[in-house]
Structure 1
Amino acid sequence: MSNREDTEVRLTILFGILQQLMTTRQNKLFAKLELTSSQFGLLIHFTHNPNRSWLVTELAEVMEVNQPGITKIASQLIEKNLLIATPDTKDKRKKHLKISDKGLKTCSSTMAAFSPDIQNIYSAFEDEELGDLSQHLEKLMSWLDSNRDNIKGL
């Protein structure tokens, strides 16, 4: 293997380890909150554009979760008054989901609760290193988002 191939394999292994470590850490943090990590993951999605409404099918597609899973999580968030469901004018089976003011406040307070741990995680990085890491991860995220079905091998 070339140096690049070795680096690519090592990065893939590191991302797997990071994912596992971050999931475990996240689960410990969410154990102290009223939301599950899945509920927060869906709710935070709405904060990027709070005025936009989403159909379950659209959310399932962009979040890469099956429709019954999104429906279940959305129903829980509606019960907590964190999402608002409005019936479609043409098809009553469809509901347009939008984040409520309470949902926005809950996202904000959840992030505030996580802030000390977030700062703790990144305390070993200098500002420039953190900026570089963010830039590289944004590039990777953008590529993965644009190439969801561009999978090679197998």
Structure 2
Amino acid sequence: MHGDRPETQGQALRELAIVQQLATTRLNRALKPLGLTMTHTSLLFHLLSCPDGASIGEIADAMEVNQPAVSKTVGGLAERGILTVETAPGDARRRTVRLTGQGHALLGQAMAAMHPDATHVFAPLDDADLASLTGLLARLRTHLDATRA
């Protein structure tokens, strides 16, 4: 390993953490009028990729949070009609969570609400830089997904 790599990795992690916090704060502010947070939106995006629904445990594993936190978030969104929670046939312990039509519509509204702030976040990057950043982040995500503990 090159002698400067640990220092550069540390700097990269600090930058990622700061950018994540600053972007999340902006996006949470944009989502607030919809009664959503980035946590809610991440959960809705996950369910969008699961047309057959997902269990609380599957959502918790995918989002790397504990099941009680997912249950609480799902419960609040279900009360608002954004999600349905159904007991799985043959297994009363398993509940399947799905987006409702209202949930799909709200996710579209969330995307529109976040757009101005997303534009602001990426304003310093030209199209090539943004494409490069997206590719690099996708590589990191793929690696981290494949090597989850």
Fold agreement, TM-score > 0.5:
yes
Bigger RCO of structures 1 and 2 (CA < 8 A, at least 6 apart)? 2
**How much does 1:95 deviate?**
1.4
TM-score by length of 2: 0.90
1:89-140 Cα shifts (integer Å, max 9, x gaps)? 1122321111111111100111011111111221221111110010000001
The worse-fitting range, judged by mean Cα deviation, of 61-70 and 22-31 is 22-31
The worse-fitting range, judged by mean Cα deviation, of 97-106 and 7-16 is 7-16
**Do structure 1's residue 71 and structure 2's residue 79 form an aligned pair?**
no
Number of residue pairs the alignment of both structures matches: 148
Question: Which is strand-richer, 1 or 2?
Answer: 2
The SS at the match of 1:125 is coil
**Do structure 1's residue 41 and structure 2's residue 46 form an aligned pair?**
no
**Do structure 1's residue 104 and structure 2's residue 104 form an aligned pair?**
yes
CA distance in 2 between partners of 1:39 and 1:48 (Å):
15
CA distance in 2 between partners of 1:81 and 1:97 (Å):
12
* Structure 2 unaligned blocks of 5 or more: none
CA distance in 2 between partners of 1:5 and 1:87 (Å):
48
TM-score by length of 1: 0.87
**Who is 1:147 aligned against?**
147
CA distance in 2 between partners of 1:22 and 1:121 (Å):
7
Alignment of 1:21-36 (within 5 A): 21-36=22-37
Which amino acid counterpart does residue 62 of structure 2 have in structure 1?
A: V
Does the 8 A contact of 2:27 with 2:117 survive in 1?
Answer: no
Pair 1:36–1:123, CA change in 2 (3 A): closer
The SS at the match of 1:57 is helix
* Structure 1 unaligned blocks of 5 or more: 150-154
CA distance in 2 between partners of 1:136 and 1:38 (Å):
23
- Percent of aligned positions with the same letter in both sequences? 30
**Who is 1:2 aligned against?**
3
Q: CA RMSD in A?
A: 1.6
The worse-fitting range, judged by mean Cα deviation, of 88-97 and 128-137 is 88-97
